[in-house]
Amino acid sequence: MSHEELSNASAPTNHPETAAGEDHTSAGQAPLLVPKEIPSEEDRQRCADMYWALDDPEVQVRYAGKYVAVHQKQILAAGEDLLAVYAEAQEKSGLPRSRIAIAAIDDDQTFLEN
Amino acid sequence: MLPDIPIVEVRRDYTTDHGRLARACYLRVTAVFATRSGGDVERGMRIDTGAPFSIVPYSLWHDVDLSWQPLGTEFYTPAGVRDPDALAWLGVPCLFGLLQVRLQDEFDQRSKPLRLVAKLPLRAARSHLERAALIGCSFLADNSLTMTVAPHRRTNAGALRNIVGHLTVP
């Protein structure tokens, strides 16, 4: 593994929910966090939206091969670049990431390529 | 704590030029990860017991900013020889890390925390698998999980449809 690749992995992120200046060098040294045992209402809504997107026949056809961002069974954004999908969804809805569900929609490649 | 995590079969039916059914399917569970900002994020994970390690794609661990801890950046063989190509996935060099996940059912019940030792690719792969986190064989062993799959008993009722088995958490 080259130094350049490790350096890229440590590049600062611009996520709205991450403190400015944080990088993945410190991420590797930070405490290992555990998901909550009991989901919040926000978590439940987000999960329900993800399940809806994974199951809805129209979503399967229209957004095959893409990430979709969902809130309350409404598609906020879709595309192949997850960060761009998040950004568009947040811009359109004004919602924080924590309230936006993401589902990866299968396409034929998913089933036909081993 | 939820002891049995439902395994969902995702299938798509193709047909051959001979008019025969070609049914493609994979197994999926829902995993919940912790982000570094303290939130949770859930993803469907594909169960691949033929894969020795789990894979958390770049667009998940990096772009979603998951909480993880490093376990290494290189592999050495059992004979102690450095293997520069061993820690890679689809040709992409990887980090090797530890995450904590909970598995979840469709009623939002969650398992106890489970150890997910995984390859973390250093960039996005040019493959549909970039969208699919993989649960490898080591996840079952590391957490003493029992996997039971019976596709002929596939359910077909409401939120429980398409369940073909369970991961039993001790």
Judge whether B127 is closer than 8 Å to chain A, CB to CB.
Answer: yes
Residue A12 has a pLDDT of: 34
Residue B153 has a pLDDT of: 81
Are residues A28 and B68, on separate chains, in Cβ contact within 8 Å?
yes
Whether B96 shows a pLDDT value over 70: the answer reads: yes
Whether A41 shows a pLDDT value over 70: the answer reads: yes
Q: Which of A5, A30, A44 sits opposite B93 (nearest CB)?
A: A5
Query: A11 or A66: whose pLDDT is higher?
Result: A66
Whether B113 shows a pLDDT value over 50: the answer reads: yes
Are residues B100 and A32, on separate chains, in Cβ contact within 8 Å?
yes
Whether A27 shows a pLDDT value over 70: the answer reads: no
Judge whether B83 is closer than 8 Å to chain A, CB to CB.
Answer: no
Residue B128's Cβ-count burial label (10 Å; 0-12, 13-18, 19+) is: middle
Q: What are phi and psi of A24, to 5 degrees?
A: -80, -5
The length of chain B is 170
Of residues A27, A52, A49, the one with CA closest to residue A99: A49
Residue B1 has a pLDDT of: 61
Nearest residue in chain A measured CA to CA from B33 = A35
Residue A35: both structure tokens together? 């998901």
Whether A40 shows a pLDDT value over 70: the answer reads: yes
Judge whether B59 is closer than 8 Å to chain A, CB to CB.
Answer: yes
Report the residue of B26, B30, B37 to disrupt the A interface, i.e. the one with the largest count of A CBs within 10 Å: B37
Q: Which of B39, B87, B106 sits opposite A98 (nearest CB)?
A: B39
CA A67 to each of CA A21, A78, A83, A85: distance values in angstroms, whole numbers, following the listed order? 27, 6, 10, 7
Whether A110 shows a pLDDT value over 90: the answer reads: no
**Chain A closest CA to B70's CA: distance in Å?**
5
pLDDT in tens, A49-104: 999 999 999 999 999 999 999 999 999 999 999 999 999 999 999 999 999 999 99
Residue A1 has a pLDDT of: 42
Residue A30 has a pLDDT of: 80
Residue A93: both structure tokens together? 């809805």
Whether A9 shows a pLDDT value over 60: the answer reads: no
